[in-house]
Structure formats: C-alpha cells, structure tokens
A and B are shown apart, each in its own frame.
Chain A
C-alpha cells in the first residue's frame, strides 16, 4: 500500500482552495479486506485524502516551510461509503491560518452527491516540546508536482502557480521536462 490518498489536483488557488480527485479501484489491495465480498473505501482514508489535499494547500501558503501535520479532526461526517469505480472530489477551503496552526474545511463529493464533510486542524510538527523534522520543502513541492498542482494551479492574482524559485531550481535537476525546463 502506497501512502497517496489523492490522485490529482483539478483546481488549486493559492491560499484559498483546492480540489483533488481520488479514484477508488479494485487494484487497491486493502479493499479486498474491507470487506471480503463487499469492497468499501474506509472513511478514515477519506479523512487522509482531505488531510493531504488540505495539507498541501496550507504548505503552499507557507511557502513549504515547517511541517504542518494532522493534529485534530473537529468533525468528520460521512453519508455513504465509496465503492470501486467511484471518483471522489475533495474540495478544500483554507479557513484560518497563522504560525501555529491552520484550519481546512472540506466537502467530499461523489458525482452529484455529497459523500462527506471533513474539518481538519493542522499544527506545525517542527515546533513545540515534541518537535520533529518529518519532511522537507522539496518533498512537498515534489508531491505537488506529482499531483499536477503546477499544471492547473493559480496564484491569487490568476497567474500560473509556481513553487518558490529556489525550489524550482532544485526540482528541475531531479526530473526531465519539469517546469524549470520550459
């Protein structure tokens, strides 16, 4: 099992909102255990998808500094369970943000129906008595790239979304045909 719970960004507006897609497929091994004979996506993994999409929205706002991680889920409500063949859309809105933490509120849709509503509270793992360095700014920007954020994303003024210059430079040495090579 890889730890990717979103597949692609279809919208990304810096510091405001993003929409990410998650395809549910029988190729995911855990569905065969959850449950045998009746595969259903666990709603805890829907929460993780929101945390990943929303977490990147928060990270991008902070220019990929710090390690904002899932600290609290004040509320997560689910109306039904996603099944193989479903495509989920996680619409995440950045509601509050400051140095110590951030709040993202999300609506999860499957077709026309609302599948869930999830609020996530992020806190910075890089500070405080139990501080840890979990991932780097380059890790975050690489994930944004994999998920197509820089293909669809825009800045607040409508210009194309780009990572900070110093990270762009390091990225283009990692992949061929990355944004730095345009």
Chain B
C-alpha cells in the first residue's frame, strides 16, 4: 500500500492554507481489519490525511527546500464522526505560526459538510544533510519524488480551482 492518502489538493496558498480531499474506498485493504463487519476509516488515518495536507502546505511554502516533514505533536485531536467507504474526507489546514523548523497548524476534516475531525499539530521540516552531509543525495532524490507527487495532486484539480494554486 502506498502511504500517500490524499487524492487531490483543491486549494493552496503556500505557507498559509490548504484544502485537499481523500476518498475512502472498500478497495483499501486495511479496512478488512477495521472492522471485518463494519468498515470505517481508522481515526489515525483521518489524522494522517490531515498531517499530509499540512506537510504539502509547509513544503510548498518552503519551495521544497527540505526533504522531510514529520509530525512532532498532536493536540486536542477530536473524532466527531465516522468516514464510511464511499465518502470523501475534505481537509482544511491553516498555518498558525512557525518558529525555526517547527510549524504549528490547525486543521479539520469534514464529511458532507460536517466536521468529523479537528486537531492542532506541530510539524518539523528539515533535511538529512543537516545531520549528515553524506545524505545530501538522498535529500535530492526525496525532494524530486515529492515534487512529482505534488504535481500529480495539483493536476487532479478541476480547471476552475487550479487557477488558485
């Protein structure tokens, strides 16, 4: 399974705000275990979708200067409702503040216009070469793959929204 949950970035103000979507399908194999008789999106996968949206927001804001964006803190993560197969989770993330390599964001996930998830997150952005200069090639490789994936997520926008990116 590819661990890129988002299907499309629908709006983007680099470094400020992003909206994206994730479709949930019975074709996603982990749903067979969660749960066998009642498939629902695991809460942490809803959260991971939000983390990914936040990560693209940060990367776009830095123009992919760093290869790694990872979760460092999650606070007040609340799961208000389920995401069922066949539904779409709409993610909205805004930057609250940034301090050095750390970014604080707040975000929510909606299904049919109702909030299913809300959270405050702190993410760290950095490069491997910062710790070990020999890793510069890995940074380059990873950045190039990330840029490709980003273009893919943007290209799937409707023509009328792609003008906003």
Complex contact flag A–B (Cβ < 8 Å): yes
Q: Which A residues from 34 to 80 make CB contacts under 8 A with B?
A: 34-38, 40, 42-45, 47-48, 51, 69-78
- A76, B68: Cβ atoms closer than 8 Å: no
Given A4-B33, A38-B67, A139-B35; A76-B74 close (CB under 8 Å): yes
Structural contact, B145 and A36, CB atoms closer than 8 A: yes
Binds A, one of B1-9, B88-96, B99-107, B156-164: B1-9
- Cβ B1 vs Cβ A44 within 8 A: no
Known A-B contacts A4-B33, A43-B71; the reply to A48 vs B44 at CB < 8 A is yes
Separation of A48 and B42 alpha carbons in the complex (Å):
9
Among B4, B33, B43, which residue has the most Cβ atoms of chain A within 10 A? B43
The chain A residue sitting closest to B144, CB to CB, is A36
Residue B134 CB within 8 A of the other chain? no
Find B37's partner among A30, A31, A45, A135 (CB 8 Å cutoff): A135
Say yes or no: is A174 at the interface (Cβ < 8 Å to chain B).
Answer: no
A87 to chain B, nearest CB (A): 20
Q: Does B97 contact A (CB under 8 A)?
A: no
Contact with A along B42-78 (1 / 0, CB 8 A): 1111011001000000000000000110111111111
B79-A3 in contact (CB<8A): no
B153 contact set on A, CB distance < 8 A: none
Residues of A within 8 A of B141 (CB): 36-37
**Which residues of chain B come closer than 8 Å to A1, judged between CB atoms?**
1, 29-30
Determine the interface band of chain A, counting residues with CB < 8 A from chain B: 35 or more
Contact status of A73 and B74, CB under 8 A, knowing A1-B1, A37-B141: yes
A42 near B79 with CB under 8 A, answer: no
For residue B82, CB closer than 8 A to chain A, the reply is yes
Please give the distance in Å from B11's CB to the nearest CB on chain A: 23
Contact yes or no, A3 B42, CB < 8 A: yes
Q: How far is the CB of B138 from chain A (nearest CB, A)?
A: 5
**Selected interface stretch from A18-26, A106-114, A126-134, A162-170:** A126-134
Further pairs besides A35-B67, A70-B44, A132-B40: 18, Cβ < 8 Å: A2-B29, A3-B30, A29-B1, A31-B3, A33-B2, A38-B138, A43-B71, A45-B48, A47-B47, A70-B43, A71-B79, A72-B79, A73-B74, A73-B77, A73-B119, A74-B76, A134-B40, A135-B38
6 contacts between A and B (CB under 8 A): A44-B44, A69-B43, A75-B73, A75-B75, A77-B72, A78-B71
Please give the residue numbers on chain B whose beta carbons come within 8 Å of chain A beta carbons, in ascending order: 1-4, 29-38, 40, 42-45, 47-48, 51, 67-68, 70-79, 81-82, 119, 128, 138, 141-142, 145-146
